[in-house]
Amino acid sequence: MPGAVTLNTRKIVVLGSRSVGKSSLVKQFVEGHYSDVYYPNTESSANKVITYNGTEFPCELIDTAGQDEFSQLNSRYAIGIHGYVLVYSIASRASFEMVQIIYDKIVDYCGLRTVPAVIVGAKADLNACRQVDAMDGARLAHANGAAWIEASALRDENVGKAFELCLAEIERGTAGAAAPPAPPDAPGGKCVVM
Ligand SMILES: Nc1nc2c(ncn2[C@@H]2O[C@H](COP(=O)(O)OP(=O)(O)OP(=O)(O)O)[C@@H](O)[C@H]2O)c(=O)[nH]1
């Protein structure tokens, strides 16, 4: 049943600056299509089963509105969340700088040192306008104990891989912080840490 919560259900939040290509990655991954029309997103969610090590994980992918340095981290992006896809555009240095800011807000909110995450350099087809070296992306991920990949929703390159890496980080239990699915009537609070 689509959206049914099982023991294997994983909740993944996609965060990043405005217009970096978050929705396009989710749409390409879930629906297998790409549009170059830009509709600023508020929030939406989609479901897709991701297979990791031979096990199927029904995943809820929460596609968020673009963040800036003044955005408060919505508590719903911390409670009961298993992993994070943190997106920047390789053609925007500012969006790259935002990734650390967002990551810091998450770990600060959760009271953890690290959370399972993949950092995604989106719009990898825009190499001619590149403002972020691949090495910088890899270094940022390494410094935060996260995975990293460059992907293009337009060319459908590494899109599935990005979400699979996120699931791998979750299952690896990077920080021992993978959260169980939040019960529907969970009381308010910060992260559920097991
Ligand atoms: N060249 C290129 N453009 C892309 C790619 N992915 C997205 N875009 C374009 O970038 C613009 C923004 O894409 P979205 O996916 O809506 O970005 P978003 O991060 O969800 O934006 P917000 O809803 O504002 O947070 C659109 O015009 C897309 O067509 C890509 O892989 N390559």
pLDDT, tens digit (0-9, with 9 covering 90-100), for 151-176 = 999 999 999 999 999 999 999 873 34
Q: Return the SS3 of 58.
A: strand
Residue having the nearest C-alpha atom to atom 2 of ligand 1 = 123
Nearest to 3 by CA among 51, 56, 48: 48
Q: Which one, of 78, 131, 138, lies nearest residue 104 by Cα?
A: 78
The model's pTM is 0.89
Asked whether 65 lines ligand 1 (CB < 6 A), one says yes
Q: Which atom of ligand 1 is nearest to the CA of 20?
A: 19
Please choose, from the candidates 29, 20, 38, the residue with its C-alpha nearest in 3D space to the C-alpha of residue 132. Answer: 20
Q: Which atom of ligand 1 is nearest to the CA of 24?
A: 15
DSSP 8-class letter at 46? E
Encoded tokens for 190? 């910060």
> pLDDT (tens digit, 9 = 90+) per residue, 48-95?
999 999 999 999 999 999 999 888 888 889 999 999 999 999 999 999
Query: How far is the CA of 8 from the CAs of 44, 80, 162, 167, 194, in angstroms?
Result: 21, 13, 19, 11, 16
